């Protein structure tokens, strides 16, 4: 099978990303050390968000070597320890100081407007739930204090409540620049009344550099996996949606693992992409353990234990012969490595990415995930990577 082509890769490479931020550097105030603030869902052990942060920080360091960088995020201790930058929790006083003092305020990627797993737990007064709203309030406050405000490669696939919709329209119309990661996001924002230009750019994670192949091979061997054997990468996440049973999904996935082991003598590696320390619905190990308890061929199933950096994770996905992936950024990293994949679409953003690569036929809606459908689609994508 040929590798999956990414048709936008020639339009948006690392060098172009650096040039984009250099253009913003030229528009900042003439302060000797301008403050650039990155705001996003980083540091909560979500590999997609962390891959975005990894790329954006690398581009900003190259484009603005004199700038002072600060990150507003969920896990400031993890971000500060990993990247040696200032990092503050959204709810802290230090975060509000950064908002007031910012010269450039960047909402750096991610699905900032969607209804999936959006709320903090509020039921009766959801429109007052701050989750999904603070980001826009912070950006508006930074803009009011004189910062340039950029929304970069954001996703907006569905609107959780009217307050989010109103805030999004006001904030995006007032921003200095807005770019989106897929056509559906443009459609949703147009529906909210956003009339400004809304260019579509690839997700920053596309430009992530993979770890060297020898390092990845060492990681796999420590996990009890032979890089030379047939490896299947599997990623599933819990989904809190009516009509979807995580237990039923795990039943199908376990049967699929056994079928892959029996039919292709494959070894299946579950690759957790989200490991939130407090929320089971954001922790893929919830699904890994459900599947592991159901698998008959325990000798052919592994759960990746190594806590990968984003480059290591991209390398691991690149080492797989084939992948079945639910998380959006798992699909992005695997596709950009040329790994054949089927994407399980639990939310429209996944289908949007696959359509953008010309791979609509490789999307399996989660509600239609059955053993027969999965077997049928997998059969269409053999031979696997590296085989003829």
Confidence of residue 2 (pLDDT cuts 50, 70, 90): very low
Mean pLDDT of 92-120: 86
Q: What is the pLDDT of residues 339-368, one digit of tens each?
A: 999 999 998 999 999 998 889 999 999 999
Give the pLDDT confidence score for residue 318 in this predicted structure.
96
Give yes or no for residue 288 having a pLDDT over 50: yes
Q: What percent of the chain has pLDDT over 70?
A: 89
3-state secondary structure (DSSP) of residue 364: strand
Give yes or no for residue 199 having a pLDDT over 60: yes
Phi, psi torsion values for 275, nearest 5 degrees: -135, 60
Give yes or no for residue 387 having a pLDDT over 70: no
Give yes or no for residue 10 having a pLDDT over 50: no
Beta strand pairing call for 231-235 and 267-270: parallel
Q: What is the pLDDT of residues 18-64, one digit of tens each?
A: 888 888 888 886 778 999 999 999 999 999 999 999 999 999 999 99
Contact 114, 347 (CB under 8 A): yes
Give the pLDDT confidence score for residue 283 in this predicted structure.
94
Give the pLDDT confidence score for residue 24 in this predicted structure.
87
Q: Which domains does the chain have, with CATH numbers?
A: 14-207 (3.40.50.11720), 213-379 (3.40.50.2000)
Mean pLDDT of the chain: 90
Contact 159, 115 (CB under 8 A): yes
Confidence of residue 84 (pLDDT cuts 50, 70, 90): very high
- How far is CA 230 from each of CA 148, 380, 384, rounded to the nearest angstrom? 49, 17, 8
- Sequence-ordered strand ranges (E) for the chain: 35-39, 68-73, 86-89, 104-113, 148-156, 177-180, 231-235, 267-270, 301-303, 322-325, 341-345, 363-365
Q: What is the pLDDT of residues 307-316, one digit of tens each?
A: 999 999 999 9
Lowest mean pLDDT among 65-79, 91-105, 346-360: 346-360
Confidence of residue 130 (pLDDT cuts 50, 70, 90): low
Give yes or no for residue 85 having a pLDDT over 50: yes
Q: What is the pLDDT of residues 202-215, one digit of tens each?
A: 899 999 999 999 99
Give yes or no for residue 172 having a pLDDT over 50: yes
Q: What does the block give as tokens for 313?
A: 């994770």
Mean pLDDT of 246-253: 97
Give yes or no for residue 1 having a pLDDT over 60: no
Mean pLDDT of 133-153: 95
Confidence of residue 278 (pLDDT cuts 50, 70, 90): confident
Mean pLDDT of 294-317: 97
Give yes or no for residue 125 having a pLDDT over 60: no
């Amino acid at each position: 099978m040929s590798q999956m082509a990414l048709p936008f890769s020639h339009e948006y490479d690392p060098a172009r990303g650096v040039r984009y931020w250099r253009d913003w550097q030229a528009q900042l105030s003439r302060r000797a050390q301008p403050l650039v603030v990155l705001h996003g869902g980083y540091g909560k052990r979500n590999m997609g968000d962390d891959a975005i942060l990894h790329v954006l920080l690398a581009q900003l360091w190259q484009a603005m070597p004199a700038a002072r960088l600060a990150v507003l995020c969920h896990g400031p201790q993890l971000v500060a320890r990993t990247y040696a930058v200032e990092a503050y929790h959204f709810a802290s006083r230090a975060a509000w100081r950064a908002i007031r003092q910012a010269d450039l305020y960047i909402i750096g990627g991610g699905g900032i407007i969607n209804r999936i797993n959006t709320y903090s737990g509020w039921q009766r007064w959801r429109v007052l739930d701050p989750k999904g709203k603070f980001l826009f309030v912070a950006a508006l406050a930074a803009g009011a204090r004189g910062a340039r405000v950029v929304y970069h490669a954001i996703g907006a696939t569905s609107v959780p409540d009217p307050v989010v919709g109103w805030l999004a329209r006001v904030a995006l119309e007032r921003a200095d620049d807005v770019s989106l990661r897929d056509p559906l996001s443009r459609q949703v924002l147009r529906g909210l009344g956003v009339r400004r230009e809304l260019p579509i750019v690839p997700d920053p994670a596309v430009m992530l550099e993979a770890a060297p192949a020898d390092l990845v091979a060492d990681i796999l061997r420590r996990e009890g996996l032979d890089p030379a054997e047939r490896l299947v990468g599997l990623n599933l996440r819990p989904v809190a949606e009516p009509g979807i049973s995580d237990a039923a999904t795990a039943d199908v996935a376990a049967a699929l693992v056994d079928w892959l082991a029996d039919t292709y003598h494959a070894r299946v590696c579950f690759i957790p992409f989200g490991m939130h320390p407090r929320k089971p619905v954001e922790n893929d190990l919830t699904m890994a353990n459900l599947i592991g308890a159901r698998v008959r061929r325990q000798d052919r199933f592994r759960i990746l234990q190594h806590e990968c950096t984003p480059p290591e994770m991209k390398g691991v996905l690149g080492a797989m012969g084939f992948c079945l992936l639910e998380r959006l950024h798992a699909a992005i990293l695997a596709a950009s490595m040329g790994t054949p994949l089927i994407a399980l679409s639990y939310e429209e953003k996944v289908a949007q990415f696959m359509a953008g690569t010309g791979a609509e036929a490789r999307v399996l809606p989660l509600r239609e995930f059955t053993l027969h459908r999965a077997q049928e689609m997998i059969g269409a994508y053999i031979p696997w990577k590296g085989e003829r």
